[in-house]
Amino acid sequence: MSRKRVNRLGCGCLLVGWFAFLIIVPCGVINLVVNNEIVITKSGVPDDQLRIWLINSTDNRGIGFANGYITQTNGSQVCTQTDLRFLLWKGTPPDKTKSCTCYQKQGESYAATSMDDGTCMVMK
């Protein structure tokens, strides 16, 4: 392949990426403004999701970010760790930035068995 073709291919890929960025970002912002949150579910396990939401209370204003992920599985029990981050332009963020919740699978659904303010402990 000649150098000219490689340059054209690179410019074409950059152009496609730029137009994708110009479409995805405004659609995400519009969705956030209209629905007050964006939730991307990673699996069928509760709290295994990425969530971005608007904070509009009298004391706080800003954006919250929650990233939940599976930390442990043991048979029909699963634990999810959720990390919280805040970008506030009014108010102060809460002290709690991590939580752990364990669930027991019951048929097709899950029931919470324990909650903890912090990192998930190792199951025995």
Strands 37-41 and 109-116: unpaired
Per-residue confidence (pLDDT) for residue 89, from 0 to 100: 93
In this model, does residue 66 exceed pLDDT 60? Answer: yes
What is the value of pTM for the model shown?
0.73
Tell me: pLDDT of 77 over 90.
Answer: no
Largest CA distance in the chain: 62
Q: How many CB atoms lie within 10 A of CB 105?
A: 15
- Judge contact between 45 and 78, C-beta under 8 A: yes
CA distance 40 to 30: 16
CA distance 58 to 42: 32
